[in-house]
Chains A and B, each alone.
Chain A
Amino acid sequence: MTYQEEYAQALGERVTFDPQILRSYDHDLGEMPGVLMALIKHRPSVVVAARSVGDVQQALLLAGKRGIPVTPRGQATSGYGGAIPSKGGLVLDLSNMNSVLSVDAANATVDVEPGVVWEQLSKDLAPHGLDNRVCPTSAPSSTVGGWFAMGGVGIGSLRYASIRDNVLEIDVAGLDGAVTTYSGQDMDVFHQTCGSLGVITRLRLACRAAEHLTPYALWLPTAAKVASFLTEAETVLEPYSASVQSSGYCAMRAEADGHPPVIEGGFLVSLAFLGAGATRDEVSRLTLAHGGKLLLEMEAETEWADRFYPMRIKKVGPSALVGEFYIPLEGFSACWRELTATLPKDKLGLEAFAVKGGRLAVLVYILDDAGALLYPLRMAKAMIPLHVAARHGGKAYASGMWFAAMAEKIFGPGKFARAKRQKQKLDPRGLMNPGKLKGPGLPFLPFVSLSRLILFGTALIAPVAARISYSRHNAS
C-alpha cells in the first residue's frame, strides 16, 4: 500500500493530495522572493485537515512509520516561516480543531484545542465572566496553539507578559501517536519551537476577569519621552496594555484610510486600563510631566477599536518590509535615532507593544512593492532594524524558519540546549517541522543553513539596500 492509500484509508476526506490545495499551504504571511523559496521544498505533498486528537495521532503515526516530515500549521499568520514546510511532506492543518474544551471559572482557566481563534475565545469566555489575558493583534484569525508555538507578545503584555507566561499546561502528540502532558519548564521547549518537538493538541490558559477596558491616547514628543513615560506608567498607573506608534506610522495609516493623521510628529501612545483603572486626570498629569499631551476620548476609542488592524498600511504599499525586535526601554531612544539615521531615504513606520518588565516589542515598517525588480535587494533592509537594535540591547522577536540560526540567542542558551536534547529524544530522525531549530540546509549543501546564509547575506547587502528606496514611498 502506498503512503497515499494509507493516509486516505486512515483519514478519509480529511486528507488531500490535490496539487491545487497543496499550493495554499506553501507560504505564510511573508512575501519572500521566489529565489529564496526555491531553495527549500516548501510545497507539501499531503495535507491533513485534522478535526480531532485522533486525527493528529493517525497522521503522526503514519508520518513516523513512513519517514514523512510534518509541519503543523494554525492560521499561518506569522511571517517567520514557522508554518512553511522546508522538506515538503505533510502539513497538519490544525485550524479546524477549534473547540473550547472546558472552562474552570473558579480557577480562571480554560482548556482549548490548538485551533481556537483568540477573538472568538474572548467571546466564548464572556458568559463565564472571563477574558483572555493577552492576545496578538491578529486575534480575529490567529490561533492559540499557533501563537504559543511561535511565541510572542501583544495586547495585555504590559500586565501579563508573553503568551508563554499565560499557558499553564499543554498536551503534545508525538510521532509515536502518544499524547503527553507538559507544564512548567518541561513545557518551555515547546514554546517558540514551531511544533518541531511535537504537535500541541490542547492548551490550558490562565484567564483574567472580564472587565470593561478604558482606553486613553496621548502624544509624546520623542522616543526618549516615550521610554521615560512607559517606565513610570508601568508602576504608577499600572495599565493593562500599552502600544506606541510613530508619527510616520500614523501617516501611513492615515493615507490608507484617507483621513488626516492623528498626530503630526513625535509618537502616539495608546493605553488601556482594566475597569475604570487610572483616572483621566492621573493619566493627563503623567503625560504632561513627560512633555506630552492627552488626546481626546474619541481619538482614544478609535485607536483601541483599530487595534487589530495594523496591516492596513499595506493598502498603500502594496507590500511592507517589516523588521521586528525586542528592545529594553532604556535603549529605545538611541535605537530609534540610529535607525532613522541609517535609513534616511525611507519613510519609516514604527509600532510597538510594551511588555512587562520594561521592554518593547517593536515592528518597523518600510512600504515597498514585492513585484518590483529591486525588491529582493531592498528586502535586506528588513534586517537593519534588528542589527541596530542589537547594538542597543535588543534581540530578535522570533525565529521561525528564516531566523532559526538565531534560535539560541532568542530562546536563551539553556532553553535552546534543552530543546535540542528533547529533539534528539523525541524526534531523532528530524521529521517534526524540520529546519526550525537551526534552519533548513541548502539543497546541494545540506550542511549550510539557509537561515545562516540569509543572515550573512542580508548583513552584507543591507548597507547597499539602505541606499535604495522604493520611489513611491521614499522620504523626500
Chain B
Amino acid sequence: MSTSGHALRQPEEYTMKELTNAVDTCARCGFCKVSCPTYPFGGGFETFSPRAKVYFLKDYYEGRAELTPEWVDRLYRCTTCERCQSVCQTAIPLVHLWEGIRSEIVQKGLGPMPAHKKLRALAEEFGNPYGEPATKQSQWMLPEHKPVDSAELLIFGGCTASYRMPPMLQTGVTILTRLGIPYAYAGGREQCCASPLLRTGQLETAEGLIARNLDLFASTGARQIVTPCGGCSKTLKHDYPVWAKKLGKSFDVEVLHFSEVYVRLIREGRIKPVKRVEKTVTFHDPCHVGRSQGLFGEPREILAAIPGVRLVEMPNSREQSRCCGAGGGVKANYPQMAAEIARDRVNEAIATGADMLVTMCPFCQGSFAQAIKELGASIELSGLEALLLESVTP
C-alpha cells in the first residue's frame, strides 16, 4: 500500500491552515523514518527523520519552536525524493511541507544553504545554475539533428542534459529525427526550469525563470513539450500550471518525459526494436519520474520491447525505489551525503548481478557515473534510450 497517486497540490496552493492540519494528522508511525534516504546521515538520532521534522513543524506552527540554524540545516537535508510521502499512513503532502518551510526560511533570510545561493546567483545571471553562457546551450546537438522553427513538439533540453550529461537528450532527439518527427528547439533562449530553486525555497528567482520560459513556450506555439530530465518534467508538469495561473500567463501544453514519447511510438508501431541487445539490466526509477509522475510501467514496457534485454529488479524498485541522492539541492550542498546515497544505490544494482544499470534522468545518471567510478565497479551505466536506439539501428 502506498499513497502515491493521491492528487497532491503544489506548495503554493496550500493555505497555512491546511498545512497545519496536515501536520496534525501525523500518526507518528515512523514509516517515513524507515524509508528516508537521508535519515541515516543524522547519527542515528530520531530528530533527522521526517517524523521528527513533522513534529518540529507542529511545534513551529504553534509557536513553540524557532527555525534555528540547526533546524534549517536539517530541513535542507532532504532530496525531496517523495519516499516518505509515498508510505505516509495519513497521506500528508510531506514534500510540500518541506518545500513550503524552505521558502519560509528563505523569506525570513535564514537560508538557503550556501551552495543554493550560488545556484541562484548563477541562474539569475546566466539563466542556468551551471553558469554556462547561452551560446553553449545547443552544443549537445549532433549534425543529424534538424529542429524546425515551428512544430507541435518542443524539445526542452534542461540544464543538466544540455550542459553536463547530454547523451539522453542527444539520443532522444536522434530517435525523433530518424523517425521524421518534426520538433522545435529554442536553444540559447531556454531558461532553467527552476526546479533547483523551487526545491530549495528560492521562489523569487524561480518566478522570473518560469515567467521567461512561459513566454518562450507561448511564442513557439508548441502543443507538447518533451524533456529527458526527471526534474524538468516534474516541474513543467506539476509546478508550471500553478505558476502560469499565478502569473496570468498561458500554459496550454502537454508535458512529456521522453519515456512517454517512446512508449507511444512503440505502441503505434513507429518504433520497432528489432536488433537484439544481449544485456541483463536493472532499472533505477528516478524519484521525480517515478513517484512524482507515476511513470513506472513506461520504462519497463520499453525495456520489454527490446529483444535480448533481460530485466532484473532491485529489491527497492518502482514506488519503493531508492534515491540517487542528488535531488532537492542535496548534491549541491551536501555532496558527500549525496555520493554515499548514490553508492548505496549502485551497490544495490550490482547485487542483482545485472551487467548494466539503466535509468532515464540525466541527474541520476550523473550521480551514478560518479558512484561507479568511486566504487571501481564494473557495472555499465546507460540511459534507457541508448538501448532503444541500439535496438532500432540496423
- B-binding residues in A (CB < 8 A): 13-14, 16, 18, 20-21, 23-25, 27-29, 47, 49, 51, 75-77, 93, 95-96, 117, 120, 123, 138, 140-142, 256, 305-312, 314-315, 317-319, 369-371
Q: Quick check: A49 and B28 within 8 Å, CB to CB? A: no
The closest CB in chain B to the CB of A119 belongs to B34
Partner of A314, one of B27, B31, B52: B27
Q: Quick check: A49 and B47 within 8 Å, CB to CB? A: no
Q: Evaluate whether A20 and B25 lie within 8 angstroms (CB atoms) in the complex, with A47-B45, A141-B34, A311-B89 already known.
A: no
Per-residue CB contact flags for chain B residues 17-29 toward chain A (1 = under 8 Å, else 0) read 0000100111111
Point out the residues of chain B lying under 8 angstroms from A28, CB to CB: 28
Q: Quick check: B43 and A14 within 8 Å, CB to CB? A: yes
Point out the residues of chain B lying under 8 angstroms from A314, CB to CB: 25-27, 89-90
Q: Quick check: A14 and B44 within 8 Å, CB to CB? A: yes
CA distance A327 to B47 in the complex (A): 38
Q: Quick check: B44 and A51 within 8 Å, CB to CB? A: yes
Q: Quick check: A95 and B44 within 8 Å, CB to CB? A: yes
Point out the residues of chain B lying under 8 angstroms from A120, CB to CB: 34
Closest 4 CB pairs of A and B: A49-B44, A141-B30, A311-B27, A96-B44
Q: Quick check: A49 and B43 within 8 Å, CB to CB? A: yes
Q: Quick check: B90 and A24 within 8 Å, CB to CB? A: no
Q: Quick check: B24 and A318 within 8 Å, CB to CB? A: yes
Q: Quick check: A77 and B30 within 8 Å, CB to CB? A: yes
CA distance A138 to B31 in the complex (A): 8
Q: Quick check: A24 and B44 within 8 Å, CB to CB? A: no
The closest CB in chain B to the CB of A97 belongs to B44
Q: Quick check: A311 and B46 within 8 Å, CB to CB? A: no
CA distance A117 to B315 in the complex (A): 16
Q: Can you name 16 A-B pairs with beta carbons within 8 Å?
A: A13-B43, A14-B43, A23-B56, A24-B55, A25-B46, A27-B55, A75-B34, A77-B29, A93-B45, A93-B46, A138-B30, A309-B89, A311-B27, A312-B90, A318-B21, A371-B24
Q: Quick check: B89 and A312 within 8 Å, CB to CB? A: yes
Point out the residues of chain B lying under 8 angstroms from A140, CB to CB: 29, 31, 34-35, 87
Partner of A319, one of B24, B34, B45, B52: B24
Point out the residues of chain A lying under 8 angstroms from B315, CB to CB: 123
Q: Quick check: B30 and A75 within 8 Å, CB to CB? A: yes
Minimum C-beta distance from A318 to chain B (A): 4
- Given A20-B70, A140-B29, A314-B89, 11 more A-B residue pairs with CB atoms under 8 Å apart are A13-B43, A16-B45, A27-B55, A28-B28, A77-B30, A93-B46, A138-B29, A309-B1, A309-B89, A318-B25, A371-B24
Between A20, A28, A76, A310, the greatest number of chain B beta carbons within 10 A of the residue's beta carbon is seen for A20
Point out the residues of chain A lying under 8 angstroms from B27, CB to CB: 29, 311, 314
CA distance A437 to B26 in the complex (A): 29
Point out the residues of chain A lying under 8 angstroms from B49, CB to CB: 24
CA distance A13 to B44 in the complex (A): 10
The closest CB in chain B to the CB of A117 belongs to B34
CA distance A315 to B59 in the complex (A): 19
Q: Evaluate whether A29 and B29 lie within 8 angstroms (CB atoms) in the complex, with A16-B43, A20-B70, A123-B315 already known.
A: yes
CA distance A305 to B68 in the complex (A): 41
Partner of A311, one of B29, B35, B70: B29
Partner of B33, one of A29, A75, A312, A318: A75
Minimum C-beta distance from B362 to chain A (A): 31
CA distance A120 to B87 in the complex (A): 14
Point out the residues of chain B lying under 8 angstroms from A16, CB to CB: 43, 45
Q: Quick check: B90 and A256 within 8 Å, CB to CB? A: yes
CA distance A13 to B35 in the complex (A): 23
Q: Evaluate whether A370 and B45 lie within 8 angstroms (CB atoms) in the complex, with A140-B31, A140-B87 already known.
A: no
Point out the residues of chain B lying under 8 angstroms from A76, CB to CB: 28, 30
Point out the residues of chain A lying under 8 angstroms from B26, CB to CB: 314
User: Residue B71 at the A interface, CB < 8 A?
Assistant: yes
Point out the residues of chain A lying under 8 angstroms from B21, CB to CB: 318
The closest CB in chain A to the CB of B7 belongs to A258
Minimum C-beta distance from A310 to chain B (A): 8
Point out the residues of chain B lying under 8 angstroms from A312, CB to CB: 89-91
The closest CB in chain A to the CB of B74 belongs to A20
Point out the residues of chain A lying under 8 angstroms from B70, CB to CB: 18, 20
The closest CB in chain B to the CB of A123 belongs to B315
The closest CB in chain A to the CB of B22 belongs to A318
The closest CB in chain A to the CB of B26 belongs to A314
Point out the residues of chain A lying under 8 angstroms from B52, CB to CB: 24
Q: Quick check: A311 and B71 within 8 Å, CB to CB? A: no
Minimum C-beta distance from A322 to chain B (A): 11
Minimum C-beta distance from B198 to chain A (A): 26
Point out the residues of chain A lying under 8 angstroms from B71, CB to CB: 20
The closest CB in chain A to the CB of B59 belongs to A23
Q: Quick check: A20 and B90 within 8 Å, CB to CB? A: no
Q: Evaluate whether A24 and B46 lie within 8 angstroms (CB atoms) in the complex, with A77-B29, A315-B90 already known.
A: yes
Point out the residues of chain B lying under 8 angstroms from A117, CB to CB: 34
Q: Quick check: A311 and B45 within 8 Å, CB to CB? A: no
Question: In chain B between 42 and 97, which residues have their CB closer than 8 angstroms to a CB of chain A?
Answer: 43-47, 49, 52, 55-56, 59, 65, 68, 70-71, 87, 89-91
Q: Quick check: A305 and B24 within 8 Å, CB to CB? A: no
Point out the residues of chain A lying under 8 angstroms from B28, CB to CB: 27-29, 76-77
Q: Quick check: A311 and B90 within 8 Å, CB to CB? A: yes
Point out the residues of chain A lying under 8 angstroms from B89, CB to CB: 309-312, 314
CA distance A76 to B47 in the complex (A): 13
Partner of B25, one of A25, A96, A315: A315
